[in-house]
Chains A and B, each alone.
Chain A
Amino acid sequence: DIVMTQSPDSLAVSLGERATIKCKSSQSVLSSSKNKNYLAWYQHKPGQPPKLLISWASTRESGVPDRFSGSGSGTDFTLTISSLQAGDVAVYYCQQYYHTPRTFGQGTKVEVK
Chain B
Amino acid sequence: EVQLVESGGGLVQPGGSLRLSCVASGFTFSDHYIDWFRQAPGKGLEWIGRSRDKAASFTADYAASVRGRFTFSRDDSKNSVYLQMNSLKTEDTAVYYCTRLASVGTFPDHWGQGTLVTVSS
Contacts and interface: CB of A to CB of B under 8 A. Distances in A.
Interface of A: 38, 40, 42, 44, 48-52, 55, 61, 93, 95, 97, 100-107
A101 B47 contact: yes
28 contacts: A38-B106, A40-B107, A49-B112, A49-B113, A49-B114, A50-B45, A50-B97, A50-B111, A51-B111, A52-B107, A52-B110, A55-B106, A55-B107, A55-B109, A61-B109, A93-B45, A95-B45, A95-B107, A97-B105, A97-B106, A100-B50, A101-B47, A101-B63, A101-B64, A102-B47, A103-B47, A104-B46, A104-B47
- The size bracket of the interface on B is 20 to 34
Contact residues of A: prevailing secondary structure: loop
- The 8 lowest CB-CB distance pairs between A and B, nearest first, are A49-B111, A102-B47, A40-B107, A104-B45, A97-B107, A107-B44, A106-B44, A101-B47
Contact of A100 (B46, B61, B102): B61
